[in-house]
């Protein structure tokens, strides 16, 4: 019989499943995490699960918080299991290790009890509020301006005592603490976003200023927003994957997570209110995370975007299958070595040449079955951050950027056509940047994307060579499809 997850079953887990290495009854929450999804549960929660084994770290458990209606099934699962769930890590050879993670010692679901969320965030015991709210969730537009016109933001400014969005809760709780003379919490972004702490600070300050200039000034002075670089490939857990994991582990887990065995976190040490000793368990603590962010975002996230639309349109659906396709493997290798990697330097503790080679091994991990449609999700938010800097660097330095022109042509086709090369239709999922993507669809013109400063920057439309390459690839994709275009990528434009 499968073993259901709960505090009462931790002493009889199936063979090969590790229990939390600490007594959960001794742990209290010092971190509140907003946006409890698969990545958080496989990353920050894993590091914290390790650190809680240290006897002096028991005040750093996690209070999990979800804000969105679509998170209700996960909320029900986590409540039923007392915040417990399993993480199954697979190495590239298919070997599995499964942990039951006990770091989340409490959980709240804001749509059911927003007052409780606000109250807990205002509690002095919470000294860090961490976030995984996606790249687009920070609501920073192409001009670096926080979008005060966002529907949720407008609601929370109008009804500050009944917020529903992340910035309403954070700023509301900080205001309560300020008025009570209580020290603020640190706001720690864990999203795949360049300068994620700085972006979080920009959003929080803009929201706070719309409420009170005095409040914004206090936050600016008193609240820390460390930047961090996070990395672990963590696919979504579909019902089918959930059932497969439970069959393999012998658990009855309503919220299992599957991920690769690789994990990395580089974090700035800006925590005036204290933090767990994550560095004891593999976190790299640095003064400036910017070079590490740049390397990871340009290489890993950039490669994911370069693969996403062409591979999906060609008919592939799994990342590992696409990466093992010699055509796409060669294309990604050239991107890493000739387009993105040339602008980077070696970093302390991170040798870039082995890192680049390791990326393709990670992508080819069949055991985690990462899906291309996950990589295609929200391209309007990802392309500017993940590929924009590389496009700009290439064009500013007069370097040929044909692979990037090809990627933009594939994104244009993905958005405007809605069918892959086999005629299979797919939904367009742009939850955070549809305002930028919708004009591509409405115009019916190939020119709209390459002329969009918001999506690709000002240079692609002005650079004659790049613009010509883009136009040729758009035409070739229409007439010949992805594979034939990619096979002749050089001859089409030379």
293: number of Cβ within 10 Å: 20
Classify residue 426: in a domain, yes or no.
Answer: yes
* Nearest-5° Cα angle at 378, 373 to 379: 90
For residue 425, the cross-strand partners are 419
pLDDT in tens, 161-171: 999 999 999 99
CATH number of the domain residue 421 falls in: 1.10.1040.10
Are residues 176 and 39 located together in one domain of the fold?
Answer: yes
Is residue 492, in this structure, part of any structural domain at all? no
Indicate if 182 and 325 belong to the same structural domain: no
- Determine if the pTM surpasses 0.85: yes
Per-residue burial over 406-418, b = 16 or more CB atoms within 10 Å of its CB, e = otherwise: bbbbbbbbbbbee
Structural domain total, the chain: 2
Which residues, at least 6 apart from 252, have a Cβ–Cβ distance to it below 8 Å?
A: 2, 3, 4, 5, 246
Instruction: Show the tokens assigned to 271.
Output: 């925590």
CATH of the domain at 254: 3.40.50.720
Q: Which of 188, 68, 196 is nearest to 140 (CA)?
A: 196
Q: Are residues 262 and 319 in the same domain?
A: no
Question: In a structure prediction context, what are the per-residue pLDDT tens digits for the chain, which is 494 residues long?
Answer: 899 999 999 999 999 999 999 999 999 999 999 999 999 999 999 999 999 999 999 999 999 999 999 999 999 999 999 999 999 999 999 999 999 999 999 999 999 999 999 999 999 999 999 999 998 899 998 788 999 999 999 999 999 999 999 999 999 999 999 999 999 999 999 999 889 999 999 999 999 999 999 999 999 999 999 999 999 999 999 999 999 999 999 999 999 999 999 999 999 999 999 999 999 999 999 999 999 999 999 999 999 999 999 999 999 999 999 999 999 999 999 999 999 999 988 778 788 889 999 999 999 999 988 999 999 999 999 999 999 999 999 999 999 999 999 999 999 999 999 999 999 999 999 988 898 999 999 999 999 999 999 999 999 999 999 999 999 999 999 999 999 999 999 999 98
- Same-domain check for residues 385 and 249: no
The verdict on residue 377 lying in a domain is yes
Domain end position, chosen among 245, 268, 286: 286
Q: Are residues 240 and 324 in the same domain?
A: no
| Domain end among 255, 271, 286 | 286
Spatial separation of the C-alpha atoms in residues 11 and 32, rounded to whole Å: 27
CA nearest 489: which of 339, 280, 301, 283? 339
Structural domain that includes position 333: 290-487
Please write the tens of the pLDDT for every residue from 182-235: 999 999 999 998 899 999 999 999 999 999 999 999 999 999 999 999 999 999
Q: Is residue 32 part of a domain?
A: yes
268, 409: one domain: no
Helix (H, G, I), strand (E, B) or coil at 187: strand
């Amino acid at each position: 019989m499968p073993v259901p997850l709960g505090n009462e079953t931790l002493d009889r887990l199936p063979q090969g499943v590790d229990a939390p290495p600490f007594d959960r009854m001794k742990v209290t929450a010092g971190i509140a995490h907003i946006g409890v999804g698969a990545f958080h549960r496989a990353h920050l929660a894993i590091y914290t699960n390790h650190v809680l084994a240290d006897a002096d770290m028991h005040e750093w458990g996690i209070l999990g918080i979800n804000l969105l209606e679509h998170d209700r099934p996960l909320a029900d699962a986590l409540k039923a299991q007392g915040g417990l769930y399993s993480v199954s890590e697979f190495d590239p050879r298919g070997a599995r290790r499964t942990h039951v993670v006990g770091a989340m010692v409490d959980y709240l679901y804001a749509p059911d009890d927003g007052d409780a969320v606000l109250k807990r965030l205002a509690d002095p015991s919470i000294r860090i509020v961490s976030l995984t709210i996606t790249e687009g969730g920070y609501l920073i537009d192409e001009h670096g301006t926080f979008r005060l016109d966002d529907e949720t933001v407008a609601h929370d400014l109008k009804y500050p005592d009944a917020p529903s969005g992340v910035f309403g809760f954070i700023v509301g709780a900080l205001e309560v603490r300020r008025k009570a003379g209580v020290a603020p919490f640190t706001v720690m972004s864990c999203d795949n976003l360049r300068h994620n702490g700085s972006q979080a600070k920009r959003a929080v300050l803009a929201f706070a200023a719309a409420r009170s200039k005095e409040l914004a000034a206090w936050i600016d002075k008193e609240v820390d927003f460390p930047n961090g670089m996070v990395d672990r490939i963590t696919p979504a857990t579909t019902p089918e994957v959930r059932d497969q994991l439970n069959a393999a582990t012998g658990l009855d887990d309503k919220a299992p997570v599957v991920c690769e065995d690789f994990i990395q976190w580089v974090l700035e040490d800006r925590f005036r209110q204290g933090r767990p000793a994550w560095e004891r368990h593999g976190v790299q603590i640095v003064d400036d995370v910017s070079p590490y962010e740049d390397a990871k975002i340009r290489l890993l996230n950039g490669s994911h975007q370069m693969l996403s639309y062409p591979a999906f349109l060609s008919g592939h659906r799994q990342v590992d299958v696409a990466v093992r396709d010699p055509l796409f493997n060669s294309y990604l290798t050239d991107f890493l070595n000739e387009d993105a990697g040339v602008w980077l330097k070696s970093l302390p503790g991170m040798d870039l040449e082995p890192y680049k080679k390791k990326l393709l091994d990670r992508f080819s991990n069949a055991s985690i079955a990462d899906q291309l449609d996950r990589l295609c999700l929200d391209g309007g938010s990802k392309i500017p951050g993940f590929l924009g800097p590389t496009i700009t660097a290439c064009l500013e330095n007069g370097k040929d950027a044909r692979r990037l022109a090809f990627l933009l042509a594939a994104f244009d086709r993905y958005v405007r056509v809605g069918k892959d090369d086999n005629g299979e239709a797919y939904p367009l999922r742009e939850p955070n940047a549809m305002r930028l993507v919708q004009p591509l669809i409405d115009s019916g013109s190939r020119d709209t994307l390459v002329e969009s400063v918001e999506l690709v920057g000002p240079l692609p439309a002005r650079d004659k060579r790049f613009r010509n390459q883009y136009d040729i690839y758009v035409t070739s994709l229409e007439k010949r499809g992805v594979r034939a275009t990619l096979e002749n990528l050089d001859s089409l434009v030379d």
